[in-house]
């Protein structure tokens, strides 16, 4: 099986430029340079690559809104969203630490496709090792003339800079990220205008997730047909899937799109001895719970949506039967309450309120009315009521948890305490 | 805290006006200027500048904040809004070593609370505080992306994974024994 994302991966000693090139690295970019930017866009559209950051939007379609041609604004930007802070998600860190040149090449292809002359990697501050290795890779590429003016003797010039953030979840939201890059408080922006037209410093800007960009070298090197047959399913290509929680061997694997959660759990060796799976979040803290009966669902955007959740980042969090679902939901909501930027009222006030109620229930002081209030809050913070997707993301594990683990909530209230604490 | 910089002027909203050259070192100024050159506008280097100064002085004092604001052409209020927005910019004095313990879901499933309680008890401080000898500051952190090796913490920017009580004891012994770490 081809593994275009992880074949270059070496976490201890990542490939330098020469090693990467000798194993086929930068061939995709070289092919792209021989095509027009529009042709590169078309190839990525034909490959049906979907964004791997969580939303699953078609990458080629996203690019197609960028003004192109002679009349287009002179400065355009490409930004790699490497602000990986979704709890339970660690796939981008893996790619950046293990194969920094793969991301650089992917960014060069994307930047060329949209005619960007400057690109930034927006990296979360905690990922120090990624920062060191990416900067090394950038320096190597610059020294070799792969970045800078007139790349490979062409008319195309690109500068690539590493921006290290300082820790705030909302910066992963595309428009908040743009505000952060401009040195502003990272509140999200209203859309429209969309960043593809008015983005960083008011210029056309594309923000793509790290893993999305890492798919581009393969698509440009080996073509659409090859990329489509990797999975053979509704969603094309491979995906970095993973799992954490009380499983035997938590970790990440590059697998065809549409691999089931059950297969991923099996790769992890199953649950730890003496534990049973009670529920799972398919792709990070902001996705709805699913149950063991959903393990056969392919990890594809539509299939997971049909089962009642979101594929998100595709890195699973497994809840075992020794941990309290109410306690886990409280932990998730504490995260969202803390990370709310405070810009809009439902999120700023609703999330701490939900935390307060959940804390009360977990401590055995909850009432029946508290459950109703939580349900009501789920409505107040749903899509359309808030400025961005943070609060609706927080609602997902809450509303699904209240549905699937209703008995646990009820026990906390009836027995005035957490049944999982002995 | 006494100010070492004579503040002669205040701006329209009462923020002191300082000349950044009186506060920042040549090294800091050069590094910040380099960051400014990477963006279309100078304020875009705000986070980089705060990180540069913090790496030299451990934290961002009011004076540092005013100086950076002056250098980037921002109001101090605006820069304060940025500085306080981020977890890794310290607007209070921190110890020689800073521990950020992950408190997100995968670490929760690996009972990070036991580690948190042990740290609090051994260091005799709460989260957000610094030990009396000024050596260690204890802070929480959202998911560090070490979910496969939970529980985890970050010590002075380095990840420490697969924590247990014994590992914490060894870690603290190392920090207290010398100033390496």
Task: For residue B91, tell me if it sits in a domain.
Answer: no
Q: Do B105 and A164 touch (CB under 8 A)?
A: no
Residues 6+ positions from A173 with CB-CB distance below 8 Å = A188, A388, A389, A390
Q: Residue B9's Cα: distance from chain center in Å?
A: 29
Residues in chain B: 181
Same domain, B103 and B170: yes
Task: For residue B22, tell me if it sits in a domain.
Answer: yes
DSSP for residue A194: P
CA pair distance A47, A217, nearest whole angstrom: 12
What's the sign of the alpha-carbon dihedral A130, A133, A135, A141? negative
- Respond yes or no on whether the N-terminal peptide bond of residue A193 is cis (omega within 30° of 0): yes
Question: Residue B1: what pLDDT?
Answer: 45
Task: For residue B1, tell me if it sits in a domain.
Answer: no
Q: Which residues pair with A320 in a beta bridge?
A: A277
Same domain, B19 and B79: yes
Whether the CB of A272 is below 8 Å from some CB of chain B: the reply is no
Quote the tokens at residue A367. Answer: 């009432």
Question: Residue A406: what pLDDT?
Answer: 98
Same domain, B36 and B79: yes
Task: For residue B71, tell me if it sits in a domain.
Answer: yes
Point out the residues of chain A with pLDDT beneath 70.
422
Whether the CB of A335 is below 8 Å from some CB of chain B: the reply is yes
Quote the tokens at residue B173. Answer: 């012994």
Q: Which residue of B has its CA nearest to A285?
A: B105
Same domain, B116 and B44: no
- Respond yes or no on whether the N-terminal peptide bond of residue B167 is cis (omega within 30° of 0): no
Answer for the pair A155, A177: CB distance below 8 angstroms, yes or no.
Answer: no
Residue A202: other Cβ atoms inside 10 A: 14
Question: Whose structure tokens read 């090394």?
Answer: A136
Total structural domains within chain B: 2
**Does domain A17-230 correspond to CATH entry 3.40.50.11540?**
yes
Same domain, B172 and B101: yes
Residue B58: other Cβ atoms inside 10 A: 15
Q: Do B106 and A183 touch (CB under 8 A)?
A: no
Question: Residue B4: what pLDDT?
Answer: 57
Q: Which residue of A has its CA nearest to B141?
A: A167
Residue A62: other Cβ atoms inside 10 A: 25
User: Over the stretch A399-408, which tens digit does the pLDDT of each residue have?
Assistant: 999 999 999 9
Least Cα distance to B91 among B132, B50, B127 occurs for B50
Residues in chain A: 422
Q: Do A168 and B85 touch (CB under 8 A)?
A: yes
Q: Which residues of A touch B157 (CB under 8 A)?
A: 128
Residue B142: other Cβ atoms inside 10 A: 24
Strand residues in B3-45 grouped as ranges (E): 9-10, 16-17
Q: Is the pLDDT of residue B97 over 70?
A: yes
CA pair distance A119, B90, nearest whole angstrom: 28
Whether the CB of A84 is below 8 Å from some CB of chain B: the reply is yes
Categorize the per-residue pLDDT at B6 as very low, low, confident or very high, splitting at 50, 70 and 90: low
Q: Do B146 and A125 touch (CB under 8 A)?
A: no
Residues 185-214 of A with CB under 8 A from B: 185-186, 201
Q: Which residues of A touch B147 (CB under 8 A)?
A: 87-90, 242, 244, 250, 315, 317
Best CATH choice for the domain A325-414 from the list 3.90.700.10, 1.20.1440.230, 1.20.120.340, 1.10.3470.10: 1.20.1440.230
Which residue range forms the structural domain that includes residue B77? 9-83
**Does domain A245-320 correspond to CATH entry 3.10.20.600?**
yes
Residue B22: other Cβ atoms inside 10 A: 12
Question: Residue A104: what pLDDT?
Answer: 98
Whether the CB of B64 is below 8 Å from some CB of chain A: the reply is no
User: Over the stretch B18-47, which tens digit does the pLDDT of each residue have?
Assistant: 899 999 999 999 999 999 999 999 999 999
Question: Residue B2: what pLDDT?
Answer: 46
Same domain, B108 and B72: no
Instruction: Please name the residue ranges forming H helices in A148-223.
Output: 174-181, 210-214, 216-222
Question: What Å distances lie between residue B133 and B54, B136, B176, CA to CA?
Answer: 21, 8, 10
The percent of residues above 90 in pLDDT, for chain B, comes to 87
pTM of the model as a whole: 0.96
* A354 φ, ψ (degrees, to nearest 5): -60, -40
Question: What Å distances lie between residue A411 and A289, A363, A369, A375, CA to CA?
Answer: 19, 12, 14, 17
Same domain, B141 and B165: yes
Helix (H, G, I), strand (E, B) or coil at B72: helix
**Helices A406-414 and A390-404, packing angle to 10 deg:** 80
DSSP string, A372-409: HHHHHHHHHTSTTSSSSSHHHHHHHHHHHHHHHTHHHH
Whether the CB of B130 is below 8 Å from some CB of chain A: the reply is no
- Judging by DSSP bridges, how do beta strands A315-320 and A277-281 pair with one another? antiparallel
Quote the tokens at residue B167. Answer: 């590992």
Question: Residue B177: what pLDDT?
Answer: 76
User: Over the stretch B133-172, which tens digit does the pLDDT of each residue have?
Assistant: 999 999 999 999 999 999 999 999 999 999 999 999 999 9
Same domain, B79 and B138: no
CATH of residue B118's domain is: 3.40.30.10
Quote the tokens at residue A243. Answer: 């799992």
Quote the tokens at residue A221. Answer: 């090197």
Q: Which residues of B touch A323 (CB under 8 A)?
A: 109
Going edge to edge, which strands form the sheet with A315-320? Answer: A251-256, A238-245, A315-320, A277-281
CA pair distance B181, B175, nearest whole angstrom: 6
Q: Which residues of A touch B65 (CB under 8 A)?
A: none
CATH of residue B47's domain is: 1.10.10.1590
Q: Do A128 and B147 touch (CB under 8 A)?
A: no
Answer for the pair A186, B46: CB distance below 8 angstroms, yes or no.
Answer: no
Question: Whose structure tokens read 């590169």?
Answer: A40
Strand residues in chain B grouped as ranges (E): 9-10, 16-17, 97-102, 136-141, 153-155, 158-160
Interface test with B, best of A244, A287, A341 (most B CBs within 10 A): A244
Q: Which of B25, B54, B83 is the last residue of a domain?
A: B83
Q: Which of B49, B83, B117 is the last residue of a domain?
A: B83
Question: Residue A345: what pLDDT?
Answer: 96
* A318-327 exposure pattern, b = at least 16 Cβ within 10 A, e = fewer: bbbeebbbbb
Q: Which of B44, B78, B88 shows the shortest C-beta gap to A166? A: B88
Residues 6+ positions from A374 with CB-CB distance below 8 Å = A354, A357, A358, A398, A402
Answer for the pair A341, A170: CB distance below 8 angstroms, yes or no.
Answer: yes
Same domain, B73 and B104: no
CA pair distance A331, A172, nearest whole angstrom: 20
Quote the tokens at residue A142. Answer: 């610059």
DSSP string, A235-299: S-SEEEEEEEESBSS-EEEEEETT-BHHHHHHHTTSBPTT--EEEEESSSTTS--B-GGGTTSBS
Question: Residue A78: what pLDDT?
Answer: 98
Categorize the per-residue pLDDT at B181 as very low, low, confident or very high, splitting at 50, 70 and 90: very low
Same domain, B163 and B124: yes
Q: Which of A88, A166, A201 shows the shortest C-beta gap to B106? A: A88
Q: Do A317 and B43 touch (CB under 8 A)?
A: no
Same domain, B73 and B102: no
Domain ranges of chain A: 17-230, 245-320, 325-414
Question: Residue B176: what pLDDT?
Answer: 84
Question: Whose structure tokens read 């491979």?
Answer: A238
Q: Which residues of A touch B148 (CB under 8 A)?
A: 90, 242, 244, 250-252
Residues 6+ positions from A74 with CB-CB distance below 8 Å = A117
Least Cα distance to B175 among B124, B131, B142 occurs for B131
Task: For residue B16, tell me if it sits in a domain.
Answer: yes
Q: Which of A251, A318, A331 shows the shortest C-beta gap to B108? A: A331
């Amino acid at each position: 099986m081809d593994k275009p994302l992880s074949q270059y991966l070496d976490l201890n000693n990542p490939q330098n430029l020469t090693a990467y090139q000798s194993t086929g690295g930068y061939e995709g970019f070289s092919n792209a340079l021989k095509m027009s930017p529009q042709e590169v866009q078309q190839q990525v559209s034909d490959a049906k690559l979907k964004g791997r950051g969580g939303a699953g939007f078609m990458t080629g379609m996203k690019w197609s809104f960028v003004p192109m041609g002679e009349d287009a604004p002179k400065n355009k930007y490409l930004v790699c969203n490497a602000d990986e802070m979704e709890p339970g998600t660690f796939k981008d860190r893996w790619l950046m630490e293990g194969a920094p040149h793969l991301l650089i090449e992917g960014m060069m292809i994307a930047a060329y496709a949209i005619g960007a002359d400057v690109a930034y990697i927006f990296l979360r501050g905690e990922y120090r090792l990624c920062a060191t290795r990416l900067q090394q890779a950038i320096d190597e590429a610059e020294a070799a003339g792969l970045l800078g003016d007139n790349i490979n003797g062409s008319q195309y010039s690109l500068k690539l800079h590493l921006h290290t953030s300082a820790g705030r979840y909302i910066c992963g939201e595309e428009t908040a990220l743009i505000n952060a890059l401009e040195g502003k408080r990272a509140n999200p922006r209203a859309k429209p205008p969309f960043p593809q037209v008015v983005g960083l410093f008011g210029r056309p800007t594309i923000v793509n997730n790290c893993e999305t960009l890492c798919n581009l070298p393969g698509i440009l090197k080996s073509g659409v047909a090859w990329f489509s047959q990797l999975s053979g399913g509704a969603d094309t290509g491979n995906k970095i899937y993973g799992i954490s929680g009380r499983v035997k061997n938590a970790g990440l694997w590059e697998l065809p799109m549409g691999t089931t959660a059950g297969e991923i759990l099996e790769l992890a060796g199953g649950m730890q001895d003496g534990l049973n799976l009670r529920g799972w979040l398919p792709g990070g803290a902001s996705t709805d719970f699913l149950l063991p009966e959903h393990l056969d669902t392919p990890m594809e955007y539509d299939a997971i949506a049909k089962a009642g959740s979101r594929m998100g980042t595709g890195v699973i969090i497994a809840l075992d039967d020794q941990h309290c679902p109410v306690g886990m939901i409280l932990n998730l909501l504490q995260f969202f309450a803390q990370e709310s930027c405070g810009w809009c009222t439902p999120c700023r006030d609703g999330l701490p309120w939900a935390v307060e109620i959940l804390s009360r229930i977990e401590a055995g002081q909850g009432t029946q009315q508290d459950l109703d209030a939580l349900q009501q809050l789920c409505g107040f913070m749903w899509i359309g009521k808030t400025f961005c997707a943070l609060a609706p993301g927080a609602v997902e594990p809450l509303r699904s948890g209240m549905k699937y683990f209703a008995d646990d909530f009820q026990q906390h209230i009836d027995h005035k305490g957490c049944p999982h604490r002995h | 805290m006494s100010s070492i910089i004579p503040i002669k002027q205040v701006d329209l909203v009462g923020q002191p006006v300082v000349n950044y050259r009186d506060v920042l070192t040549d090294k800091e100024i050069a590094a910040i200027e380099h960051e400014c050159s990477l963006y279309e506008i100078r304020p875009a280097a705000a986070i980089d500048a705060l990180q540069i100064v913090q790496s030299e002085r451990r934290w961002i004092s009011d004076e540092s904040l005013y100086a950076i604001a002056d250098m980037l052409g921002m109001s101090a209020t605006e820069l304060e809004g940025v500085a306080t927005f981020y977890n890794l910019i310290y607007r209070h004095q921190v110890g020689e070593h800073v521990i950020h313990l992950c408190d997100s879901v995968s670490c929760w499933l690996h009972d990070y609370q036991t580690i948190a309680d042990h740290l609090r008890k051994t260091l005799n401080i709460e989260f957000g505080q610094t030990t009396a000898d000024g050596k260690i500051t204890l802070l929480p952190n959202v998911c560090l992306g070490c979910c496969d090796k939970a529980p985890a913490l970050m010590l002075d920017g380095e990840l420490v994974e697969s924590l247990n009580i014994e590992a914490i004891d060894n870690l603290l012994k190392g920090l207290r024994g010398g100033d390496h770490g």
